[in-house]
Amino acid sequence: MRNMLTALLFFVATTPAMALNIVITNDDGFETPNIQALYDVLVDAGHDVILSAPYLGQSGTGGQIAFLRPIPPTSKPSAAGRLPTGSPGVGPTGIAPQQFYVDGSPSASALYGIDVKAQQIWGHAPDLVISGPNEGNNLGVITPHSGTLGAAVTALNKGIPAIAVSAEGNGAADAKIVAKLVLKLVDSLDKHGRVQLPVAIGLNVNTPVIDEINDTVDDFNFKFTRIGSSSNFGLKFYENLGDSPFANSVGIPANINLPGVSIVIPPSDAGYPVDKSPKSETNALKPRVVTVSPIQGTYAAEKAIEGKVLRGGLKHLLED
């Protein structure tokens, strides 16, 4: 009896009082340094973590879902070669306990973690879903196209608190600092085992360039921002993708003579509005400043915007 009591007291003393059940996913693939560092940091802090991430990179897929399409064995090896061609469409990564992959989109990966693995392991939905950290920032008008945001929104629409995290860097040293910044945010939101966010509201978090040698977690400030319409790049469709300077810079020849979408910097050159507000996350993101913007799971407009629509040209047509 004494031994059992001693063991119980040791367990209580070494287990965080506010440990959470967390599903993490991303859009860059299960092998990336960013998501593996986040898994390690959260587990070391005492949280119970399920990693459920895409088999391969799925950047720019938004909230894509392959409805009613069975997932066959993989047609190629995983990006870092850990898993071979012909691996099952879903399965364990073999890297650490409770790590799984899905040969599908970020949203599908999040759903696998929420609907299948969380139920098998915990018997209920997670307390929190974290999507990322993405390799590269997701800011402003680009966010609807982000697989990182798409997975977070998928969780929000199931009533689960969610955070999308995007990092400017993707090196191993960067990844560790970014993961610790995410943990700091999680600790702030965690109140007695419950995530303190309004229902159906999540966060879009972006971390800046990190000085791997001189920066520590305590050097960073968190700034409350809004997504806004400012961004670090825009999108444009080209009849000939070879006419895009950015496409040329990544090796696409000028004479390719095939259509496609490319990146345009600055975004105003692609017809995007200029947003100079200091509250917009793109403008607020600076060295040692982490931006935190609220997001929601649908495209619903704010109440104030609804009023403007009703008072506008449709006022005689629409019923309030």
Q: Which of 166, 244, 262, 293 is catalytic?
A: 166
How many alpha carbons lie under 13 Å from residue 52 in its C-beta half-sphere? Answer: 28
Q: Is 166 a catalytic residue?
A: yes
Catalytic residue positions? 166
